[in-house]
Amino acid sequence: KNEVEQSPQNLTAQEGEFITINCSYSVGISALHWLQQHPGGGIVSLFMLSSGKKKHGRLIATINIQEKHSSLHITASHPRDSAVYICAVISGSARQLTFGSGTQLTVLP
């Protein structure tokens, strides 16, 4: 079982819909990343958070340390949001990221 689980694995939405992607992890962490990977392969870091909530434009990330759970929300989704969204955690004693398998998001016009 992967230490980092994402759901759903695949998500198709209509333009304008509110989208939620979930990430659960089983180890103690010091921080969690949300990353976006476009079809060409390049990865962009969206958020790094260790508590509470962060917002950047139409993207919102929340984390609940007690429940070992984080969510990434996209408001007013757009076809250009189509990408793979990856959750990654930094565990307390290690210095490396452990990645989830990613959520493939497709937003249809």
* Contact flag: residue 102 with another protein (CB under 8 A): yes
* Contact flag: residue 63 with another protein (CB under 8 A): no
Distance linking the first and last C-alpha atoms of the chain: 36
* Contact flag: residue 57 with another protein (CB under 8 A): no
**In the complex, least distance from residue 9 CB atom to another protein, rounded to whole angstroms:** 10
Nearest in space to 93 (alpha carbons), one of 28, 48, 32, 33: 28
Report whether 72 contacts 85 (CB < 8 A): yes
* Contact flag: residue 35 with another protein (CB under 8 A): yes
**In the complex, least distance from residue 49 CB atom to another protein, rounded to whole angstroms:** 10
Binding residue count for another protein, defined by CB under 8 A: 25
The DSSP output letter for 9 is S
